[in-house]
């Protein structure tokens, strides 16, 4: 924690997330001598009382640019309407984890953000108390106005210059959640006016004087590399400034950091530099490039065989093993085994990948949409042989993230192009580049097997066959881990040359759907109530005896109970078919009920009731938006999302061939949050994974068919209601 006086009056507070506050205030310095970047995450209070709060984390649509400053403002005790929010820059010194990913911004920021606000408040109160010659404990604060026992008042702006000179207190008192005035009340998106009036906000909108545009010719198929190219025609096209080859520096970087290899192609690429975006796009098409097979080109058929062979094989990484599944299966009365499969998926952020870079001898200036600014600044420093201090990275608002902007291959490319041409340049992907040669959620298969003995589930075996990577270590400890005595999770992976990576709720985005469909089928086999079966399993979970279990059986039972109640489970008229799911991921507990009705002979998802326990809800309107968006995203991709490969090329390059959910297909979503005073947990992802399972289970109720393959529309014959059951 540090403070300093502003030259024109006022106070800056810098804070270091996830590190203890520095015990002593650093001496205030004149603003003219301040390196502004040292204070990119702070509260700024002017002597007229105006408050600016810098939001540290990247904004991808998850709402942290609104909710993180709300947490600071709450403890600072100012009126939300008086707060001006700005995006903080990348600052490794004052911040940690400036990342949009894993639904963790609020969970990890919770303590530090509250401390920051409360610390500033205490210093302001101390300054006022000193001026009055009273004890600070005699003062109260409301909306930035300090009042003493005699009823005299001072605004924050009146005492800010004195407050800035005080030592930073170590122990500050945080509010009781019961006293929250800002948190728990809906605050509209802080960028709403700019969004609705079309002001520049996004990476694609960013411009500087003299900036040029670059479009890159990339290998048309995974497994290919550039041999040669002819740029004669392109160079003669309007606006074209230069055509350059890049790739050498990326390969040198990959030699040092092979882990990044699954995120970026090592082939040479041809960058067409032009005065405008359209000129660059057009001239890119005029490049005559020759490609050759570098490694092998892959197909969906090949992936399918490989993944099945992995599931049938014996080479697994065992991620969790309780009891003895072999013995339990041998002794079981009945065994159920099912295999579930899902395809590759592009992220399809609506703002195509892009990044701005300017490289000079002194500095590297990077601007644009990136979920992992610190990681990318580090990679660029390494690639260009620069000191990390010479990399300045500014984050723009992002037109979607969904995991795609974690990888930053586009930052690396922009930096290499800028280094070659030495002009400020923005690399812009066409939609075809973005979808056709991207970084994908890989196809995956799960095989789940359960053993039943004397009417109880005695064994559970989950096998994963993945591409380029397998599930991360926390997932094997999610429900039903701890509920079944003999339990094992095994993972196997195949290495592909197709670039792959995290996609909103990695691994669980399909696993939840598969497991929750399996539970339903298991309950049918056992002839028990589907919800009671889940509650009975939860009764057996004892997190106090197993530190690997992060989920709470009690909180899970609560969301189940509320979902049953709010969805009218079991009380609907006969033409409404319901499907139930419950799931835990990203530290939050979720239960959902899907309502399917038959319209003109087809089952249609009409409504999803979604119940979430994510602890304290900072901003209700933003929270509902996240929950609904996650549910609809989950429904949409389970229904329609498909991406196949042939000869190393994806079948779709644009939205004419890749189907995203649209308005007419969207169900009603009714969201309920469990009210409690527990610290907040994830919300950007956890409502997505179970949604596919909820609709699969409701479709089963409506059609009699179990769905084992996503997208569900891939097997239209399974989405038909038997003739006799057609109503209306």
Partner 1 sequence: MPTYQIKVNGESKTVDVAEDTPVLWVLRDHLDLVGTKYGCGIGQCGACTVHVDGTAMRSCSLTLAQIDGKSITTIEGLSEDGMHPVQQAWKEVDVPQCGYCQAGQIMTASAFLENNPNPTEEEVKNAMHGNICRCASYTRIKKAVMTAADNMG
Which residues bind to partner 1, rule: CB under 8 A? 59-63, 186, 188-189, 191-193, 195-202, 204-205, 207, 213, 238-239, 276-279, 281-282, 348-352, 397-402, 430-431, 621-622, 625-626, 628-633, 636, 654-656, 660-664, 666, 668-669
Q: 527 or 656: whose CB is closer to partner 1?
A: 656
3-state secondary structure of 553: helix
| Cβ-based nearer residue to partner 1, 198 or 385 | 198
Q: In whole angstroms, give the CA distance from residue 669 to residue 672.
A: 10
* Smaller CB separation from partner 1, 91 or 633: 633
Task: Specify the residue, 67 or 703, whose C-beta has the smaller distance to partner 1.
Answer: 67
Closest CA to 294 of 272, 261, 271: 261
Identify the residue whose tokens are 């509010």.
175
- Least distance to partner 1, CB of residue 356, Å: 13
Report in angstroms how near the CB of residue 41 gets to partner 1 at its nearest. 22
For 605-663, give the DSSP string.
Answer: EEEEEEEEE-SS-S-HHHHHHHHHHHHHHHHHHHHH----EETTEES-SSTTTSPPP-G
Q: How far is the CB of 59 from partner 1 (least distance, A)?
A: 8
Q: What residues pair up with 228 in beta bridges, in sequence order? A: 290
- Residue closer to partner 1 (CB basis): 204 or 287: 204
Tokens read off for 240: 């074209």
Q: Which of 361/656 has CB closer to partner 1?
A: 656
- Per the DSSP assignment, residues forming a β-bridge with 672 are 611
* H or E segment to which residue 248 belongs: helix 248-256
Q: In this complex, which beta carbon is closest to partner 1, that of residue 575 or of residue 662?
A: 662
Q: Residue 340 has what DSSP assignment? A: E
Cα–Cα distance measured from residue 72 to residue 93, given in angstroms and rounded to the nearest whole number: 19
Beta carbon of residue 70, minimum distance to partner 1 (angstroms, whole number): 14
Rounded CA gap, 229 and 216, in Å? 13
- Cβ within 8 Å of residue 328, ≥6 positions away: 451, 453, 458, 459, 485, 486
What crossing angle do the helices spanning 688-703 and 620-640 adopt, rounded to 10°? Answer: 50
CA distance 101 to 505: 9
Q: Nearest distance from residue 279's CB to partner 1, in Å?
A: 8
CB-CB contact of 246 with 268 (8 Å): yes
Task: Choose between 63 and 476: whose C-beta lies nearer to partner 1.
Answer: 63
Q: Is 239 helix (H, G, I), strand (E, B) or coil?
A: coil
User: Of the candidates 351, 403, 393, 391, which has an alpha carbon nearest to the alpha carbon of residue 373?
Assistant: 393
**HEC readout, 191-220:** CHHHHHHCCCCEHHHCCCCCCEEEEEECCC
CA distance 323 to 546: 14
- Calpha distance 674→193 (Å, rounded): 31
Closer to partner 1 by CB, 347 or 530: give it: 347
Residue 350 beta carbon to partner 1: minimum distance, rounded to whole angstroms = 4
Q: How far is the CB of 601 from partner 1 (least distance, A)?
A: 19
- Spatial separation of the C-alpha atoms in residues 224 and 218, rounded to whole Å: 10
Closest listed residue to residue 339, CA positions, set 478, 515, 530, 479: 515
Smaller CB distance to partner 1: residue 467 or 632? 632
Report residue 236 as tokens.
């003669």
How far is C-alpha 614 from the chain's CA centre? Answer: 15
Q: For residues 173 and 199, which CB has a smaller minimum distance to partner 1 in the complex?
A: 199
**Cβ of residue 433: shortest distance to partner 1, in angstroms?**
11
Q: In this complex, which beta carbon is closest to partner 1, that of residue 371 or of residue 517?
A: 371
CB of 324 to partner 1, least distance (A): 44
CB of 436 to partner 1, least distance (A): 12
Least spacing, CB of residue 354 vs partner 1, in Å:
9
Least separation, in Å, of the C-beta of 239 and partner 1? 8
């Amino acid at each position: 924690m540090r403070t300093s006086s502003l030259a024109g009056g006022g106070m800056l507070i810098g804070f270091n997330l996830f590190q203890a506050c520095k015990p002593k205030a650093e001496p205030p310095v004149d603003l003219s001598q301040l390196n502004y970047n040292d204070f990119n995450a702070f509260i700024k209070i002017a002597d007229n009382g105006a408050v600016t709060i810098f939001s540290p984390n990247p904004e991808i649509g998850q709402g942290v640019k609104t909710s993180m400053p709300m947490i600071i403002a709450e403890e600072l005790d100012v009126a939300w309407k008086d707060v001006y929010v700005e995006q903080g820059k990348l600052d490794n010194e004052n911040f940690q984890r400036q990342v949009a990913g894993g639904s963790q911004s609020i969970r990890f920021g919770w303590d530090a953000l509250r401390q920051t606000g409360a610390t500033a408040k205490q210093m302001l109160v101390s300054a006022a108390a000193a001026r009055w010659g009273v004890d600070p404990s005699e003062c109260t604060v409301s909306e930035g106005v300090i009042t003493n026992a005699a009823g005299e008042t001072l605004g924050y702006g009146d005492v800010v210059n004195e407050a800035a000179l005080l030592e930073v207190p170590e122990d500050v008192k945080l509010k009781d959640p019961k006293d929250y005035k800002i948190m728990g009340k809906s605050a509209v998106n802080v960028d709403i006016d700019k969004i609705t009036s079309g002001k520049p906000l996004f990476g694609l909108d960013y411009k500087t004087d003299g900036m040029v545009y670059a479009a890159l010719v990339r290998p048309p198929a995974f497994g290919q590399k550039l041999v040669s190219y002819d740029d004669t025609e392109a160079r003669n096209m309007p606006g074209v400034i230069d055509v350059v080859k890049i790739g050498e520096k990326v390969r040198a970087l990959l030699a040092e950091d092979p882990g990044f290899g699954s995120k970026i192609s090592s082939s040479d690429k041809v960058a067409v530099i032009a005065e405008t975006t359209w000129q660059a796009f057009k001239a890119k098409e005029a490049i005559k490039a020759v490609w050759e097979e570098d490694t092998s080109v892959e197909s969906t058929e090949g992936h399918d065989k490989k993944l099945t062979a992995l599931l049938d094989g014996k080479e697994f990484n065992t991620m969790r093993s309780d009891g003895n599944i072999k013995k339990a299966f041998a002794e079981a009365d009945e065994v159920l085994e099912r295999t579930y499969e899902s395809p590759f998926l592009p992220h399809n952020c609506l703002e195509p990948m892009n990044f701005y870079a300017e490289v000079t001898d002194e500095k590297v200036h990077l601007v644009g949409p990136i979920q992992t600014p610190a990681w990318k600044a580090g990679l660029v420093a390494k690639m260009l042989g620069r000191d990390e201090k010479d990399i300045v990275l500014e984050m723009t608002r992002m037109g979607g993230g969904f995991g795609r902007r974690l990888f930053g291959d586009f930052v690396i490319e922009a930096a290499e192009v800028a280094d070659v041409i030495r002009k400020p340049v923005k690399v812009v992907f066409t939609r075809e580049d973005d979808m056709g040669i991207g970084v994908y959620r890989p196809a995956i298969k799960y095989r789940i097997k359960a053993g039943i003995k004397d009417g109880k589930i005695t064994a559970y075996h989950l096998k994963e066959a993945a591409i380029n990577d397998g599930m991360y270590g926390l997932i094997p400890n999610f429900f039903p881990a701890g509920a079944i005595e003999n339990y094992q999770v095994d993972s196997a992976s195949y290495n592909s040359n197709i670039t792959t990576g995290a996609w909103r709720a990695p691994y669980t985005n399909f696993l939840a759907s598969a497991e929750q469909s399996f539970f339903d089928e298991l309950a049918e086999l056992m002839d028990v109530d589907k919800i009671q079966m889940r509650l009975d399993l939860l009764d057996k979970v004892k997190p106090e005896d197993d530190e690997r279990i992060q989920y709470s059986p009690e909180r899970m039972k609560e969301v189940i109970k509320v979902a049953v109640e709010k969805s009218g489970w079991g009380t609907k008229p006969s033409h409404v078919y319901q499907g139930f799911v419950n799931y835990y991921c990203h530290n939050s507990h979720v239960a959902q009920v899907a309502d399917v009705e038959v319209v003109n002979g087809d089952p249609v998802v009409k409504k999803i009731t979604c119940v979430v326990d994510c602890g304290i809800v900072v901003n209700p309107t933003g929270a509902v938006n996240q929950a609904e968006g996650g549910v609809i995203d989950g429904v949409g991709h389970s229904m329609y999302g498909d991406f196949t490969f042939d000869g190393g090329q994806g079948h779709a390059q644009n939205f004419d061939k890749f189907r995203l959910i649209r308005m007419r297909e969207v169900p009603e979503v009714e969201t309920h949050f469990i009210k409690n005073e527990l610290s907040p947990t994830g919300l950007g992802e956890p409502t997505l994974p179970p949604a596919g399972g909820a609709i699969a289970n409701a479709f089963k109720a409506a059609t009699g068919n179990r769905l084992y393959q996503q997208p569900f529309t891939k097997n239209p014959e399974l989405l038909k209601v038997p003739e006799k059951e057609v109503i209306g």
